[in-house]
Amino acid sequence: MEKLEDIYEDGSIGAPSCSLFAEKLEPCQLVIFGATGDLTARKLIPALFALFVDENLPKPCSIIGCGRTVLDNDGFRQLLVKNSPVDLAGHPRWREFVSLLHYRAIQYDALHTYEELAVFLKELDKRVGTDGNTIFDLAVPPDLYPLISAKLVEVGLSLENEEGRGWSRIIIEKPFGRDLASAKILDAALHRGFSEQQIFRIDHYLAKETVQNTMIFRFANSIFEPLWNRDHIEYVGIVSAEELGVGSRAGYYDQAGVLRDMFQNHMLQLLAIIGMEPPAGFISELIRDEKTKLLRCLRPFAAPGQEDALILGQYGAGKIQGRDVPGYRRENGVRGNSLTPTFALLRVHLDNWRWQGVPFYLISGKRMARKDTRLVIQFKEVPHSMFREVIGDKVGANRLNFGIFPEEEINLSFQAKVPGPRICLRTTKLGFKYYDDSAGPVLRAYEKVLLDCMRGEQMFFWRQDGVELAWEFLEPVLESCEMCGEREERLKFYEAGSWGPEEVRGLMNILMA
Dump pLDDT digits (tens) for 7-45: 344 433 333 444 444 447 899 999 999 999 989 998 999
- What pLDDT is stored for residue 9 in this prediction? 41
Residues pairing with 344 in the sheet: 312, 364
Task: Express as a percent the part of the chain with pLDDT over 70.
Answer: 89
For range 485-495, the mean pLDDT = 86
- What pLDDT is stored for residue 440 in this prediction? 61
Task: Please pick, among 102, 266, 349, 384, the residue that the annotation labels catalytic.
Answer: 266
Strand ranges for 125-165 from DSSP E? 134-138
Bond into 16 cis (ω within 30):
no
pLDDT band at 364 (very low <50, low <70, confident <90, very high): very high
| Three-state DSSP state, 502 | helix
User: Is 185's pLDDT higher than 70?
Assistant: yes
Question: Known catalytic residue: 384?
Answer: no
- The amino acid present at 430, given as its one-letter code, is L
Distance CA 235, CA 217 (A): 18
First to last CA, the chain: 33
For range 472-479, the mean pLDDT = 90
User: Which helix (H) or strand (E) is 399 found in, with range?
Assistant: strand 399-405
Give every CB contact of residue 117 below 8 A, 6+ residues apart in sequence: 31, 66, 104, 106, 155, 157
Please tell me which residue, 162 or 149, carries the higher pLDDT value: 149
For the chain, domains (ranges, CATH) are 2-173 (3.40.50.720), 206-440+462-506 (3.30.360.10)
- What pLDDT is stored for residue 21 in this prediction? 44
CA-to-CA separations, 96 to 71, 300, 333, 401, in angstroms, rounded:
20, 54, 41, 42
Distance CA 278, CA 214 (A): 12
Give every CB contact of residue 369 below 8 A, 6+ residues apart in sequence: 241, 243, 497, 498, 499, 512
- What pLDDT is stored for residue 84 in this prediction? 87
Q: What is the pLDDT of residues 279-313, one digit of tens each?
A: 999 888 999 999 999 999 999 987 666 668 899 99
pTM for the predicted model, two decimal places: 0.88
